[in-house]
Amino acid sequence: MLLAIDTGNTNTSFGVFEGAELVHHVRAESARNRTPDEYAVLVRQMLALRGVEASAIDAAIIASVVPTLTPTMVELVKRGFDATPLVVGPGIKTGISILYEDPRAVGADRIVNAVAAHAWVADEPHKGVIVVDFGTATTFDCVTPNGDYLGGVIAPGIKISAEALFSRAARLHPVDVERPARVVGRNPVQSMQSGIVFGYAGLVDGLCDRLRDELDYPCRVVATGGLARLIAPETRAIEAVDDNLTLTGLRIIHERNQRVRG
């Protein structure tokens, strides 16, 4: 079995693949002060609750956007599962070209998403993809029909923006981020929920329109990330939501590197 680890600024996802199938998916906070041994115990216990023994994991791959946590995740795999993981970064075979001015400046998760998104449109060879990832930041990543990572957009994440609003406006208090019944709010809670949900839907549609106007090929749009299923139905642009896009990309990259080694 393959253990795929996606370390983000807020949460870390651990996916277990049996062949091409994602059979288990657990998540933990990306705690910077947690030791590799603590992570190893935590992840082993979470997987054991799902019937996965540590000995069943024979390979691992990591994508991390938190540099201080990357060596922790490597040690987690070594100590907890007696395996040496692949780490997405320079020297690893992704199967795509990075057309960013400085390829090293692209977050590992954005590259992995691009790999999975290109596979998603494999049967439409003349189309590119725009990946909208609702994470700590909201990112828009453009993938060419050839599967090359072109670049994209980084916007403040939904929760970051909402927290800034709550903290800077003395008379506005935190609300649950959920869809209100209508756009016109009749009280502060509804009004803020409208601004957050419908405002971000408008941001997504506006940026996707601009990206499509600038690109010289048709593009599909896929979304992922924690709040994707909340925002996607309110947009025109997003065609599909894949909660496991990053984990799927990690699996594909692992397979490509195994073939190269073979």
Task: Give the C-alpha separation, 94 to 189, whole Å.
Answer: 45
Choosing from 6, 37, 58, 109, which is the catalytic residue? 109
Task: Give the C-alpha separation, 3 to 69, whole Å.
Answer: 17
Active site residue 109: yes
Task: Give the C-alpha separation, 63 to 14, whole Å.
Answer: 11
Count of alpha carbons within 13 angstroms of residue 160, beta-carbon side: 11
- Residues in contact with 6: Cβ distance below 8 Å, sequence separation at least 6, in sequence order: 12, 13, 15, 63, 109, 112, 246, 247, 250
Q: Which residues carry out catalysis?
A: 109
